[in-house]
Structure 1
Amino acid sequence: MSILTVIVGVLVANALTAAFAYYMWRIGKNESDSRAYIGILVLLAIVLLTVFAERQRFAEASQAAPYQSAVPASDRR
């Protein structure tokens, strides 16, 4: 994983957190603000889709390349 991927991931996570805080603030001002509720549902969908996609990617990667020890076989006891 490159440093650029990590930086982009952190920025996206911060943006999602800021959007969630904004929608919660809007709900605090007006509890019947349907756009804020829809926004929170969209954010939840984005997070869940990302989690499931990463979980699937991890499962496929672990099946394709089984665990290999960093210690060479000749050095193991």
Structure 2
Amino acid sequence: MQSGGSQDDERLAGEQMEVVIDQEGRHALWPQGRTLPVGWALAGVCGDRTACLDHIGQVWRDQRPRSLQEARHDPH
């Protein structure tokens, strides 16, 4: 769910976005109103690209997948 380059960035700059999250805790931006890919869910935050990225920056501190985070805390 990454951008395809500067043309996509320019096109999406004025579009309302949704913050989405997958089962591994990874966050991404998704155009509001479009069907989500399998495995992704709405995180409950929408707005312009900058506002969504600001939110992600505040809540997604550890960017490792959840399974890796949990494996590092497993005492076995």
Interval of TM-score (by shorter of Structure 1 and Structure 2): under 0.3
The alignment's TM-score, normalised by the length of structure 1, stands at 0.27
Larger Rg: 1
The alignment's TM-score, normalised by the length of structure 2, stands at 0.27
| Structure whose residues are more often strand by fraction | 2
| Structure whose residues are more often helix by fraction | 1
